[in-house]
Amino acid sequence: MSDQVPAATSDAGKSSAIAVYVLYLLSIPSVGVLVLVGLVWAYVARAEAAGWVRTHFDQQIRVFWVAFWWAVGLGVLGVIGVLLLAVLIGLPILAIAGLLGLVVTVWFCLKSALGLVALLQDRPA
């Protein structure tokens, strides 16, 4: 009897991690609906994933929560900007919120794409 783990189990969860990355990338044109499916899938599949694949699920979950809280903060900033439109300071606030929203969206896409590339190359996140 050998103490070595079979090669098949070292990739456990890899296909699920690929699916989550694809859902994350498709969440931009779906206006964020598919990201919720990907998040739930990542939480469920993380328990059965192999060590290096689990790092991808941890990263996917972390990326979602960082982007989510940035979106909440920018949403609040946007509401403040709308409320201050009459004072003429609202327009620059809305512009800043929009620009930062674009930055967060690009960051989210890059993290997802680079994570997918690393996963396909059998590297941890």
In a domain, 3, yes or no: no
Q: Is 86 inside a domain boundary?
A: yes
Q: How many CB atoms lie within 10 A of CB 57?
A: 23
The parent domain of residue 80 ranges over: 12-120
At residue 41, does pLDDT exceed 90? Answer: yes
In a domain, 24, yes or no: yes
Q: Is pLDDT larger for residue 32 or for residue 77?
A: 77
Asked whether residue 71 is domain-assigned, the answer is yes
* 35 occurs within a structural domain: yes
| Domain total in the chain | 1
Give this prediction's pTM.
0.84
User: What pLDDT, on the 0 to 100 scale, is given for residue 1?
Assistant: 45
